[in-house]
């Protein structure tokens, strides 16, 4: 009996030496309307500043796009927000918790689809979901229900007992989304979730992201796909060299770059774009297939000029379209400057 007590005491002592007490105080960053609040967040890797004093807020129920070129600081920001790495400065609040002071509490309320597929390939789909569910402390019955319903919803129920090693990229990505959702999180972090997927799988994932957002989940979406960001996001932040270059709705971002709008005109004969270079309203004219693309901040004046030009040169206008700048144009303008887009 004495030996048993000694054994238990020794084991308890060993356990305590490797444990820390966790604070569970709930602190709101900006206000209760925000699911994510970031203030002056900074992270250096040796002499490189990966994230440079960035601040932004993501409202509850929003799909927030996070765009930027490779190495801009997107993944570092996501890793800080998901508690993987510590920042060198600033604050970050997720679901009301300070990710620095209460990382466990913050992580308890989020689901993450990381950039690289990382389900356990030596476990089955069901075992992967069960593992993540248990690590989130989801009660067994609830876990079983959630896992079954998610696997059915994402078309993986039939293969739930197969090793993930045998899954295609699309299946793995769907499983990762299931794993991110198994704890019914308040906030979803998705790091390029549709990267490398076929059209059908990518569309399915986008549909599910929209659906879960409609159900009230806040989504933080990092993506390279401008069309995806345009379709899904309520607001978009563009990050470059570790700094936020712009944050707004896709429409407002485009509206702020009206100098990037252009007119595409096709005549019945080939014309030389140099003919238009003398017009002060035209920023640049470039050939685009059998058309001419004319960049202008004043489309109505240029349209009048083109009609006049056609009459004067005995040409017929076959088509004429005024195009708003795409999100890609806005992105390129912010990253590389206006000239890069027009070129």
Partner 1 sequence: MSTLTEQFKRSLVIAKKNIKIYYLKGPVIIFGLVFPLFLALAYIIGRNVPLKEVLPGLIGMTTFFTATSVGPSIVPWETRSKTLERLLCCPVALWTIIVGDMLSSFLFGLIISVIPLALTLTLGIQPLNFMLLFLGLIIANLCFAALSVLLSAYPPTDVPATSMMLSSLVKFPLVFISGVFIPIEQLPPLGTAIASISPLTYFTDMVRQLFLSRGFYPLALDFTAVIAFTMAFALAAIKLHEKTLTKRLS
Say whether residue 17 binds partner 1 (CB under 8 A). Answer: yes
Whichever of 83 and 170 has its CB closer to partner 1, that residue is 83
Q: Does 6 bind partner 1 (CB under 8 A)?
A: yes
Is residue 27 a contact point for partner 1 (CB under 8 A)?
no
Q: How far is the CB of 218 from partner 1 (least distance, A)?
A: 16
* Least distance in angstroms from the C-beta of 37 to partner 1: 19
- Contact between 116 and partner 1 per CB under 8 A: yes
What is the C-alpha to C-alpha distance for residues 159 and 125, in angstroms, rounded to an integer? 7
Q: Which one among 53, 61, 90, 123 touches partner 1, defined by CB under 8 A? A: 123
Find the angle CA(318)-CA(310)-CA(320) to the nearest 5 degrees: 35
Torsion of CA 185, 186, 191, 195, to 10 degrees: 70
Selected range binding partner 1 among 20-28, 207-215, 244-252, 325-333, rule: CB under 8 A? 20-28
Residue 137 makes contact with partner 1 by CB under 8 A? yes
Applying CB under 8 A, among 136, 212, 262, 309 the residue interacting with partner 1 is 136
Closer residue to partner 1, CB minimum distance, 4 or 214 = 4
In angstroms, what is the minimal distance from the CB of 10 to partner 1? 6
Total residues binding partner 1 (CB under 8 A): 46
Contact between 119 and partner 1 by CB under 8 A: the answer reads yes
Based on the shown chain and the rule CB under 8 A, indicate whether residue 258 belongs to the binding site for partner 1.
no
Exactly one of 45, 196, 316, 319 binds partner 1 (CB under 8 A); that residue is: 45
Among 95, 132, 209, 292, binds partner 1 (CB under 8 A): 132
Determine if 11 is a binding residue for partner 1 (CB under 8 A): yes
Q: Does 195 bind partner 1 (CB under 8 A)?
A: no
- Name the nearest CA neighbour of 222 among 214, 213, 232: 232
Q: Which residues bind partner 1 (CB under 8 A)?
A: 3-4, 6-7, 10-11, 13-15, 17-22, 24, 45, 79, 82-85, 103-105, 107-108, 110, 112, 114, 116-123, 127, 131-132, 134-137, 179
């Amino acid at each position: 009996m004495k030996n048993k007590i000694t054994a238990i005491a020794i084991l308890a002592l060993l356990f305590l030496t490797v444990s820390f007490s966790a604070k569970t105080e709930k602190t709101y960053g900006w206000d209760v309307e925000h699911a994510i609040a970031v203030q002056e967040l900074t992270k250096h890797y040796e002499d490189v500043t990966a994230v440079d004093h960035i601040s932004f807020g993501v409202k509850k129920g929003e799909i927030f796009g996070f765009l930027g070129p490779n190495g801009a600081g997107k993944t570092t920001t996501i890793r800080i927000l998901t508690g993987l790495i510590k920042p060198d400065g600033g604050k970050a609040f997720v679901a009301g918790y300070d990710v620095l002071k209460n990382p466990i509490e913050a992580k308890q309320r989020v689901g993450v689809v990381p950039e690289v597929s990382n389900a356990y390939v030596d476990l089955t789909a069901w075992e992967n979901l069960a593992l993540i569910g248990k690590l989130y402390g989801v009660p067994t019955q609830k876990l079983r229900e959630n896992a079954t319903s998610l696997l059915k919803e994402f078309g993986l129920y039939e293969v739930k007992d197969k090793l993930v090693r045998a899954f295609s990229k699309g299946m793995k990505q769907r499983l990762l989304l299931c794993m991110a959702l198994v704890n019914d999180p308040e906030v979803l972090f998705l790091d390029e979730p549709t990267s490398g997927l076929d059209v059908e799988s990518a569309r399915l994932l986008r549909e599910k992201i929209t659906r879960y957002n409609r159900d009230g989940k806040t989504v933080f979406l990092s993506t390279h796909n401008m069309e995806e960001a345009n379709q899904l996001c309520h607001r978009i932040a563009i990050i470059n060299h570790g700094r936020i270059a712009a944050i707004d709705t896709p429409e407002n971002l485009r509206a702020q770059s009206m100098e990037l709008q252009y007119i595409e005109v096709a005549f019945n004969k080939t014309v030389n774009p140099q003919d238009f270079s003398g017009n002060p309203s035209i920023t640049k004219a470039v050939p685009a297939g059998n058309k001419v693309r004319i960049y202008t901040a004043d489309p109505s004046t240029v349209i009048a000029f083109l009609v006049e030009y056609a009459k004067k040169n005995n040409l017929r206008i076959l088509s004429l379209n005024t195009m708003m700048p795409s999100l890609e144009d806005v992105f390129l303008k912010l990253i590389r400057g206006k000239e890069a887009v027009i070129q």
